[in-house]
Structure 1
Amino acid sequence: MIRRIGLLVTGLLCVLLSAACVSLPEDGSIRAGSATATGSTDAGFPYDPRPPQPGETPIEIVRHFLDAMLATPTSTVVAKQFLSTTARAEWRPERQMITYQDFETPEGDDEVTLALTNAHHLDAGGRWRGALPEQASTIRFTMTTEGGEWRIGDLPDATIVSDEFFASRYQQVSLHFFDPTGKILVPEPAFVPRGGQLASALVRGLLQGTDPRLRDVAESFIPEGMSLDLSVPVSADGIATISLRGDDGALDADAVEQMAIQFAWTLRQDPAVRRLRILINDTPVALEDAPTVFDVDIGADHDPAEAYAWPDPFALRNGRLVSVAGEVEGRTDGPFGASTLGLRSVAVDLEGTRAVAVSTDGRSLLEAPVERTEGEGARTLVSGATDLLPPAWDHADRIWLVDRSAGGARVSVVIDGTNTPVRVPGISGADVSSYIVSRDGSRLAAVVSTPTGDVVMLSRLAGAGERPRATAAVRISPDTPEPVRINDIAWQSPTRILAVVPVARGISQVSSFPVDGSPATSGVRRAEGVVRQDIVELVASPVADTDVWGVAANGRVHDLRGERGAALPEPGLVSLGYVG
């Protein structure tokens, strides 16, 4: 799978992400590589900061306190020595994290002010919160004296570290919760410290629960108030033991199973963990008809990527629906494959059994079975639209639509044949060129044209009933030094998005970024490069290790994983894409 792409073209070196430069391939494929974040504060080298020294001034105390926050392994033991006795007891650095690119020279005596530049923040659960408000970027330290020495008497409840330290010491993971129906997992990105305590960090993150602002988007079956006993030990044979304390009175058999699935899916990101056991107040948790030790691969039918969905793409060939497996095509014999109905785009549900298609004029949406079904033909679901973009399905068989009307984008969803408008602040009314919906039905991302170029905006989709709601969309594509045009976006995983940008005539840039808009400090393997083709469409799936293709302006399909001799479809396919 492609992970992240670096730019080569001068003037666009940071079009979507900062990345290492690579050579331009001759065959149009992306060169695989690994570009992990690096810095002088390397996760593999310990750093033991110096404690306070006699006679230090208030400004020196503050500067050296910030330096002590960069201890490796991560620790606040030395940092607390710069605080007064009272402040040391009251300071809660775990409540948020503040990152900064740099800071101006501290000023003051009784109160030292520190102005951070390019500051961002994360909440107590490690969730990225974006840029720190300008006013909050000036940190104030109230100073006091103890034993004739200056100490910090009052300060924000926050861990304050440099971007370099954050990139080298923290990694992005996914904490797994459930959608409101309890049927599918919803991954939520979060940052945890690197190192040998990954299992413990993952469990602590999960115990923080869901983002309070997203109560109708994702929920946890772990009872509120549960706490972890010290850490999560992992035995030599890969068994992680989660010892919890708290009230488990609300846990019935179904909730126990879903709680176990949350822990299993979250802990499987630690390569040392193969199985787990859960104890609540020293009592082992057992699943129905299962032992108290279970594998981390339980709950496959709740996969947010729907890995067991229909695996092959579909497309239109000469106006008819075909299935595509490499270079092999098969015409479907349902209404869309048996005759030419005047279609310009198509989307197939996750099971590969039903399809919806947009008419050539973009005004109507039709639905039909993929294969011939007795007594079932094509039916019109929507008519009178202006310019429908290609539709999208989610796991609940909801069909998401964006209509490019004269007044801007109109978002709606078809549920059981009824089309219902959905207002998405930041996307509704905007100039939208493409969009995608996650298979778990929790995210809608769209390419929005602005006076300063295209950006990717993302909204969370809430509610499982007949009238879903959407949160205000936020920008998740990185800032760019100059305006760019984004040709297309696609899911690379349930929590990462691919985007393709033209950077010069005949050259395209493919990049990926996380759905929370955070910097790419996850350290995962990724590919970097550019493509010597005018790529106008991306064909990708959130399922790992599936083909990733790019469709050029001339209709030719190119393999973007760099595999020599890969079987590819013949040119001329229209609306090529995986299910969903």
Structure 2
Amino acid sequence: MTGRSQSMRLGVWAAILGLVISGCSTVPTASAPVAITQVSGGVDEPIGVEPLSPEPGASPEEIVRGFIESSASTVQGRPVSREYLVAAQAETWDDTASITVIEPELSAVTSGPENAVRVTGQLVGTVDRAGIFTPEIDEFAIEIPVVLENDQWRISEPRAGIYITRTDFERAYEQRDIYFLDATSRFVVPDPRFFVRDGRVQSTQLVERLLAGPSLWLSPAVVNELADMRLVSNVLVTGRQARVDLRQDGEPSNEDLEGLSAQLVYTLLGQLSIQSLEITVNGTDPQLPGVGPVQELSDWLSFDSDSGGATGVGHYIDAGGVRTQDGNPIPGPAGTAAYGLTSAAVSIDESTGEPLSLAGLAVSGQSSTLYVGPYGGELAEVLPGSRLTAPTWSPVAEEVWTVLNGSDVFRIPTGAAGQPVPAPELAGTGAVRAFHLSRDGARAALIIETAAGPALFIARVERTQDTVTVRSPVAIAPSLSGVRDVSWTSAGSLIVLAIEPGGDQIVPYTIGVDGWGITELTTDGLPGEPDAVAAAPNRALVSAGGTVWQFTLEVWAVLIRGQAPLPGTAPFYPS
């Protein structure tokens, strides 16, 4: 996706950091996918403005441009698009194979003696049959052959799938999350997919995608309690209540039923206008303890990994000591700069919502030291090294993570020695400058020093009873350069500091976990370039010019209203 035309400034913070735009993949799903361009039961009527049929006597260039414009159709089978093809191809063309999204500024000119139209432009990315977006920034170029048929130019060899401009794609498609469980079955994990904007409730489509399973990329990091389920009939929606009837060979356990209930509730109630959900498995109500036959989002809040970060108080470093957002030092020696910390991270006690443990990094010259201990208490040295990344806490285990010397990932359980985490692909990708676990523990955001400069990557975290592995880092924002810092806004979105396209200034952006939806935030109110960022649901902090700022009322503002900016760096929220 290009930051040039896709980036925009938004003035409403809730529309930025509150936006859930999650999931990540660069490969097709493992199971038989549901065609993204089709809707269960069929869509026979157009939604919005339908493209025009070809004009009599249209030139080859006009035919090709019209064909691309017709891809914005939401009618099943795209009958208008088929009017631009020769009769034989109109009968057989597969419009569901994939979607190639390109920027609106494209060129279409006749080239060569073979009556072909060459289309060139800037590639944004591709969407596969399962609705999974993969960002690209390559130049787009394709030769589309045309011939005269009945004295009218028509396309003779259309490629499978459609080509569509970004603006038309945004009008014709919308992104929704389907939810799986992390490897420990504690949290729901978003996996974003695109659907046609058909004007109908997409409840059946969403459940069908759940049954088909996670993306192949995400699959090793998650659990799908609906993997062996079948949908008996379309999801029935009555008013604001939905009913999902499932069938499975054998009887699922209560633990399985809790997991599948959380997956369905977050997938359907978390995004659509549905407020309650009735689930049957093999014709009966799951009868889960403490949960009635009609389920609501409130029944499964414990599966929401973002809930802990929603109430945590922001922290930052000032002259080696840890302070809270009100400017006061935290209790204990870490608050009085006893360790000379340059960055830190705090874990949360799930039972109380209060800070539990503190990990702090001290950097002196060419050496780094990681300290860990109770929040407000003494810290112990747990890992020395020549270069360590800022610490990050795992949300599914009381352990802190860091990367040593650019490629060696370590996790340090509380009270235990550091353990190396296999990350076989990192060594060949580049030096890791930042490493942050997602709020659900299934992914990690990395800044990696590539040949083209520091770039944003997402890797998955595979966890079994005996092993933990970091695998398959993928670049999700190839259009952003000079990436300086990153933080998780939610389990499915991030805020990143990077150089603005065509400029040389560092600015903040929000971005979905799959690379879709890059949105530039304002820098109004800041004294200079931001150099570090921290995020939590609906909140963000940055440090700029040696001071710390919060985003509020459409601008960056001081931490304490009516007072001077507070000095500090390296802001962070508990996780």
What interval of TM-score do these two structures reach, taking the shorter chain for normalisation? 0.7 to 0.9
Report if aligned partners of 1:115, 1:138 keep a CA contact under 8 Å in 2: yes
Deviation string 1:304-325 (CA, Å, 9 cap, x unpaired) is 3243676113344554444x2x
> 1:405-416 maps to which residues of 2 (within 5 A)?
405=405, 408-415=406-413, 416=416
Q: Are 1:495 and 2:492 matched, yes or no?
A: yes
Cα separation, partners in 2 of 1:505 and 1:180, compared to 1, 3 Å? closer
CA distance in 1, matches of 2:360, 2:267: 37
CA distance in 2, matches of 1:500, 1:564: 18
Given residue 578 of structure 1, which amino acid in structure 2 is its aligned partner?
Y
Cα separation, partners in 2 of 1:413 and 1:253, compared to 1, 3 Å? same
Cα separation, partners in 2 of 1:221 and 1:138, compared to 1, 3 Å? farther
The Cα shift of 1:169 comes to 1.7
SS in 2 for 1:176: strand
The Cα shift of 1:539 comes to 4.3
Partner of 1:7: none
Aligned residue pairs, count: 528
Report if aligned partners of 2:510, 2:517 keep a CA contact under 8 Å in 1: no
Cα separation, partners in 2 of 1:16 and 1:451, compared to 1, 3 Å? farther
Report if aligned partners of 1:320, 1:339 keep a CA contact under 8 Å in 2: yes
Q: Are 1:217 and 2:221 matched, yes or no?
A: yes
Cα separation, partners in 2 of 1:179 and 1:565, compared to 1, 3 Å? closer
Given residue 341 of structure 2, which amino acid in structure 1 is its aligned partner?
L
CA distance in 2, matches of 1:112, 1:387: 56
Report if aligned partners of 1:309, 1:350 keep a CA contact under 8 Å in 2: no
CA distance in 2, matches of 1:285, 1:55: 63
Report if aligned partners of 1:253, 1:287 keep a CA contact under 8 Å in 2: yes
Report if aligned partners of 1:33, 1:527 keep a CA contact under 8 Å in 2: no
CA distance in 2, matches of 1:17, 1:432: 29
CA distance in 1, matches of 2:5, 2:446: 18
CA distance in 1, matches of 2:504, 2:138: 41
CA distance in 2, matches of 1:510, 1:224: 42
Partner of 1:435: 435
Structure with more relative contact order (C-alpha pairs < 8 Å, separation 6 or more)? 1
Partner of 1:572: 567
Cα separation, partners in 2 of 1:423 and 1:510, compared to 1, 3 Å? same
SS in 2 for 1:353: strand
CA distance in 1, matches of 2:201, 2:209: 12
Q: Are 1:534 and 2:533 matched, yes or no?
A: no
Q: Are 1:70 and 2:66 matched, yes or no?
A: no
SS in 2 for 1:472: strand
Segment drifting more, 443-452 vs 427-436: 427-436
SS in 1 for 2:262: helix
Deviation string 1:468-520 (CA, Å, 9 cap, x unpaired) is 2223322222425xxx5333222222222212347799975221222212354
> 1:118-129 maps to which residues of 2 (within 5 A)?
118-119=122-123, 120-129=125-134
The Cα shift of 1:262 comes to 0.9
> 1:28-427 maps to which residues of 2 (within 5 A)?
45-47=48-50, 49-50=52-53, 66-72=68-74, 76-79=78-81, 93-101=95-103, 102=106, 104-105=108-109, 117-119=121-123, 120-131=125-136, 138=142, 156-194=159-197, 195-224=199-228, 226-227=230-231, 229-230=233-234, 232-236=235-239, 238-244=240-246, 247-249=248-250, 251-279=252-280, 286-307=287-308, 311-322=312-323, 324=324, 326-327=325-326, 329=328, 331-333=330-332, 336-337=334-335, 340-351=338-349, 352-361=355-364, 362-372=367-377, 377-383=378-384, 385-395=385-395, 396-403=397-404, 405=405, 408-415=406-413, 416-423=416-423, 425=425
Q: Are 1:551 and 2:530 matched, yes or no?
A: no
The Cα shift of 1:104 comes to 3.8
The Cα shift of 1:392 comes to 0.6
Given residue 553 of structure 1, which amino acid in structure 2 is its aligned partner?
G
The Cα shift of 1:105 comes to 4.8
CA distance in 2, matches of 1:557, 1:122: 37
Cα separation, partners in 2 of 1:177 and 1:142, compared to 1, 3 Å? farther
Cα separation, partners in 2 of 1:429 and 1:96, compared to 1, 3 Å? closer
SS in 1 for 2:258: helix
SS in 2 for 1:202: helix
Uncovered stretches (5+) of structure 1, i.e. residues with no partner: 1-13, 23-29, 37-42
CA distance in 2, matches of 1:390, 1:239: 45
CA distance in 1, matches of 2:144, 2:287: 50
Q: TM-score, normalised by structure 2?
A: 0.76
Q: TM-score, normalised by structure 1?
A: 0.75
Output the aligned Cα RMSD.
4.5
SS in 1 for 2:259: helix
Uncovered stretches (5+) of structure 2, i.e. residues with no partner: 20-45, 350-354
Partner of 2:43: none
Cα separation, partners in 2 of 1:575 and 1:465, compared to 1, 3 Å? farther
CA distance in 1, matches of 2:251, 2:475: 38
CA distance in 2, matches of 1:519, 1:427: 29
CA distance in 2, matches of 1:572, 1:368: 25
SS in 2 for 1:440: coil
CA distance in 2, matches of 1:506, 1:157: 40
SS in 1 for 2:312: coil
SS in 2 for 1:388: coil
Q: Are 1:486 and 2:489 matched, yes or no?
A: no
CA distance in 1, matches of 2:147, 2:546: 67
SS in 2 for 1:299: helix
CA distance in 2, matches of 1:222, 1:285: 14
Deviation string 1:87-127 (CA, Å, 9 cap, x unpaired) is 77866544432323446457899997875644432122211
Report if aligned partners of 1:497, 1:514 keep a CA contact under 8 Å in 2: yes
